[in-house]
Amino acid sequence: MSRQHSQAAFARAKRLIPGGVNSPARAFGGVGGEPIFMARGDGAYLYDVDGNRYIDYIGSWGPMIVGHAHEEVLAAVHEAAARGTSFGAPTEAESELAELIIDAVPSVEKVRLVSSGTEATMSAIRLARGYTGRDVIVKFAGNYHGHVDSLLVAAGSSAATLGVPNSPGVTEGTTRDTLVLEYNDVAALTAAFDQHGQRIAGVILEPIVGNMGCVVASPEFLNALRTQTTKHGALLIFDEVMTGFRVAYGGAQSLFNIAPDITTLGKIVGGGLPVGAYGGRAEIMDHILPAGKVFQAGTLSGNPLATAAGIATLQLLKDGHAYTRLEQLGARLEQGLRSAATSAGVAHTVTRVGSMLTFFFHPGPVTNWTTASRSDTAKYAKYFWNLIDRGIYMPCSQYEALFISTAHTNEDIDATINSAQETFAAL
Ligand SMILES: *Cc1c(COP(=O)(O)O)cnc(C)c1O
């Protein structure tokens, strides 16, 4: 498989863009080698600049749940573009997307649209602090909430892969009010609230983690989160930027039947265009300017193109059929990978919720960052490149979940399993 054009494109990009990429997750830091430059996407496939085709399991790191270049999403974007791309004035489409989100996500009564997941989490913690009048935010090791300064400690995936748990430029002052705990650790959570309960504004977490690989919160942990935050007057923030409209139409909270106070969204909500959103009970959300005093603004917030793509995507998902199909495809891939690895004698754990899955090169169980980080990343790198050579594009890090779209077919899944089988045998 020739990747000559990719190599040339990367050489050029490196001269112009730091590290040659506009987001480190694309740099292949976790698997070595050079990133592959893409020319186009179509359904479940990506085509690189050398004309190679890949079955795509990244889906732009989550948003492309209906596949690339979906006809209805493109039509919506085209129609919106023809009417003008940004006005800096309200549009009715913003209410339409807000209504879809509010109808889907049980705990959200009002929602604010922003332009990225990072902006959503940054705004959510500001709101939690403004609402409670407290400073401390609790987060969990290996959870990623975007590149928000105060949350860029023990931040999973990109940061973990590059071995930079803390970024230079993030001052001690900004992270002083961030308390980092181990995921799924009820005792540590209870102890933290016993000690600092009066100072804690909120707890933010990925209710199903994608950013240290797929790791699921235990029912006990979720219960403790809701009980402790309520007891101590802190807000519970579910970062559903990845899980929202992915694991279920109503997100992880609808699967777990637990109501957070604030929910952050992104990725799928923008249908592949830049979007984020945060919402919650009206009484909390009305603290945001101009209804309240907590400042948050954005020139392109609620942008007509992004809003159109988001609405079109949610319309395709709304009847729930997509999730039945995604579960079936996910289960097929999970079973296939498990049995291929088992028969090749490869130590592994597969974690999965619906169309979100991680194959850990670790015998398991993987329940937090400490256990996830013991995975054999060298084996993962070999697995990744062997699959690339077979036209399968997996996440370029052990610590990222893969995503299946409704455009994937049983044939795509079976081809992937066959390739994985060959790969495991060669490891
Ligand atoms: C992707 C992601 C973010 C950041 O979203 P961006 O749009 O990349 O800023 C935040 N939280 C979670 C859980 C994510 O997966």
CATH of the domain at 419: 3.90.1150.10
Instruction: Choose the catalytic residue: 267, 380, 383, 412.
Output: 267
Position 164 confidence tier, pLDDT thresholds 50, 70, 90: very low
Provide the Cα torsion 41, 324, 115, 162; round to 10°. -70
Q: Are residues 128 and 214 in the same domain?
A: yes
CA 10 to chain centre: 25
Q: How far is CA 245 from CA 16, 97, 264, in A?
A: 36, 13, 12
How high is the pLDDT of residue 85? 98
Q: Report the pLDDT value the prediction gives residue 220, as an integer from 0 to 100.
A: 98
pLDDT band, very low/low/confident/very high, at 160 (cuts 50, 70, 90): very low
Residues in contact with 258: Cβ distance below 8 Å, sequence separation at least 6, in sequence order: 207, 222, 223, 226
Range of the domain at 351: 4-69+320-426
- Distance (Å, rounded) from C-alpha 122 to C-alpha 148? 6
pLDDT at 162: 40
Please give the single-letter amino acid code of residue 54: Y
If asked whether residues 132 and 197 sit together in one domain, one would say yes
- In this predicted structure, the answer to whether residue 161 has a pLDDT above a threshold of 70 is no
Q: Among 21, 26, 148, 267, which residue has the most ligand 1 atoms within 8 Å of its CB, making it the best to mutate?
A: 267
Q: Decide: 188 and 181 in contact? Cβ < 8 Å.
A: yes
Active site residue 399: no
For residue 153, the model assigns a pLDDT of 80
What's the pLDDT at 166? Answer: 63
The per-residue b/e assignment along 14-49, b for 16 or more CB within 10 angstroms, e otherwise, is eeeeeebbeebbbbbbbbeeebbbbeebebbbbbbb
Q: Are 42 and 112 within one domain?
A: no
For residue 421, the cross-strand partners are: none
Say whether both 46 and 99 belong to one domain.
no
pLDDT (average), residues 360-369: 96
The rounded distance, in Å, linking the Cα atoms of 100 and 112 is 13
List pLDDT tens digits, range 241-277.
999 999 999 999 999 999 999 999 999 999 999 999 9
Print burial letters for 121-130: b (CB count within 10 Å at least 16), e (below 16).
Answer: bbbbbbbbbb
**Overall domain count for the chain:** 2
Query: Are 95 and 63 contained in the same domain?
Result: no
Residue 419: pLDDT above 90?
Answer: yes
Would the pLDDT of 165 be above 50? no
Q: Are residues 264 and 332 in the same domain?
A: no
pLDDT of residue 176: 83
Distance, CA 146 to ligand 1 centroid (Å)? 5
| 357 in the same domain as 273 | no
List ligand 1's pocket residues with C-beta within 6 A.
116-118, 121, 144-146, 206, 210-211, 239, 241-242, 266, 276
Q: Can you read off the two tokens belonging to residue 406? A: 């409704």
Q: Looking at 239, 261, 376, 412, which residue is catalytic?
A: 239
pLDDT at 99: 98
Tell me, yes or no, whether 271 and 152 share the same domain.
Answer: yes
In a shared domain, residues 93 and 21: no
Q: Coil, helix or strand for 66?
A: coil
Residue nearest to atom 5 of ligand 1 (CA): 117
206 pLDDT higher than 90:
yes
- What percent of the chain is modeled with pLDDT above 90? 92
Share of the chain above pLDDT 70, in %: 97
Identify whether residues 122 and 241 lie together within a single domain: yes
Kindly state the average pLDDT of the residues 412-421: 98
Residue 413 Cα to ligand 1 midpoint, Å, equals 26
What number is the average pLDDT over the span 364-387?
97
* Pair 136, 165 in one domain: yes
What is the average per-residue pLDDT within 97-122?
Answer: 98
pLDDT band at 163 (very low <50, low <70, confident <90, very high): very low
Q: In the prediction, which pLDDT does 157 show?
A: 53
249 is catalytic: no
- pLDDT tens per residue across span 59-106: 999 999 999 999 999 999 999 999 999 999 999 999 999 999 999 999
Based on the domain organization, do 304 and 350 belong to the same domain?
Answer: no
CATH of the domain at 249: 3.40.640.10
Mean per-residue pLDDT for 21-25? 95
Residue 116 has pLDDT above 80, yes or no: yes
Residue 154 has pLDDT above 80, yes or no: no
393 is an active site residue? no
The model's confidence at residue 156, banded by pLDDT at 50, 70 and 90, is low
Tell me what pLDDT residue 105 has: 97
pLDDT of 174 reads: 80
Q: What is the mean pLDDT of the chain?
A: 95
User: Would you say residue 158 has pLDDT above 70?
Assistant: no
Last residue of a domain, one of 317, 344, 373: 317
The domain boundary residue, chosen from 284, 317, 350 = 317
Domain boundary among 268, 292, 317: 317
CA of 72 to the centre of ligand 1 (A): 25
